[in-house]
Amino acid sequence: MTAPLGRAPLSTGELTDEQYGQVIRPDDDEYETARTVYPGAVDRRPAVILRPGNATQVAQGLALARETGLELAVRSGGHSWHGVCEGGIVLDLSRMRAIEIDAEARTAWAEPGITAGEFTDAAGEHGLATGFGDGRLVGVGGIALGGGIGFLSRKHGMTIDSLLAAEIVTADGELLSVDEHSHPDLFWAIRGGGGNFGVVTRFKFRLHELDGVYGGIMVLPVDPGILEAFIAEAEAAPEELSTIVNVWTAPPFPFVPEEHHGKPIILAVLCYAGPADEGEKVVDRFRAIATPLADMVQAMPYAGMFPPGDPLEHPLTIERNMFIDRVDRAAAETILEHITASGAMIAGAQLRVLGGALARVPSDATAFAHRQSKIMALLSAVYGDKAEADVHATWIDGFRAALKQSDSGIYAGFVATADQQEIREALYPGDTGARLAQIKAKYDPENLFRSNHNILPATS
Ligand X SMILES: Cc1cc2nc3c(=O)[nH]c(=O)nc-3n(C[C@H](O)[C@H](O)[C@H](O)COP(=O)(O)OP(=O)(O)OC[C@H]3O[C@@H](n4cnc5c(N)ncnc54)[C@H](O)[C@@H]3O)c2cc1C
List residues binding ligand X (CB under 6 A): 38, 74-80, 82-83, 93, 112, 133-135, 138-139, 141-143, 145-150, 194-195, 199-200, 413-414, 452
Question: Crossing angle of helices 329-341/224-236, nearest 10°?
Answer: 120
Q: Which is nearer to ligand X, 138 or 289 (CB)?
A: 138
Angle at 124 between CA 146 and CA 284, to 5 degrees: 85
Cβ-based neighbours of 236, under 8 Å, separated by 6 or more: none
Q: Which is nearer to ligand X, 226 or 357 (CB)?
A: 357
Q: Which is nearer to ligand X, 107 or 170 (CB)?
A: 170
Q: Which is nearer to ligand X, 75 or 435 (CB)?
A: 75
Q: How far is the CB of 300 from ligand X (least distance, A)?
A: 18
Q: How far is the CB of 274 from ligand X (least distance, A)?
A: 20
Closest residue (Cβ) to ligand X?
A: 142
Q: Which is nearer to ligand X, 82 or 424 (CB)?
A: 82
Q: How many C-beta atoms lie closer than 10 Å to residue 450's C-beta?
A: 18
Q: Which is nearer to ligand X, 191 or 260 (CB)?
A: 191
Cα separation of 310 and 414, whole Å? Answer: 19
Q: How far is the CB of 171 from ligand X (least distance, A)?
A: 11
Q: How far is the CB of 194 from ligand X (least distance, A)?
A: 5
Which residues, in sequence order, are bridge partners of residue 379?
A: 320, 349
Q: How far is the CB of 373 from ligand X (least distance, A)?
A: 13
Q: Which is nearer to ligand X, 282 or 382 (CB)?
A: 382
Q: How far is the CB of 54 from ligand X (least distance, A)?
A: 13
Q: How far is the CB of 329 from ligand X (least distance, A)?
A: 27
Q: How far is the CB of 459 from ligand X (least distance, A)?
A: 22
C-beta separation of 48 from 61 below 8 A:
no
C-beta separation of 346 from 248 below 8 A:
yes
C-beta separation of 427 from 410 below 8 A:
yes
Which of 328, 310, 270 is closest to 294 using CA atoms? 270
Angle at 344 between CA 338 and CA 348, to 5 degrees: 50
CA 244 to chain centre: 14
Cα separation of 439 and 185, whole Å? Answer: 7
Q: How far is the CB of 151 from ligand X (least distance, A)?
A: 8
Q: Which is nearer to ligand X, 93 or 344 (CB)?
A: 93
Residues in the chain: 460
Longest dimension (CA), the chain: 69
Angle at 433 between CA 432 and CA 436, to 5 degrees: 85
What sign for the dihedral angle of Cα 404, 408, 413, 416? Answer: positive
**Pairing outcome for strands 89-92 and 48-51:** parallel
Q: Which is nearer to ligand X, 149 or 437 (CB)?
A: 149
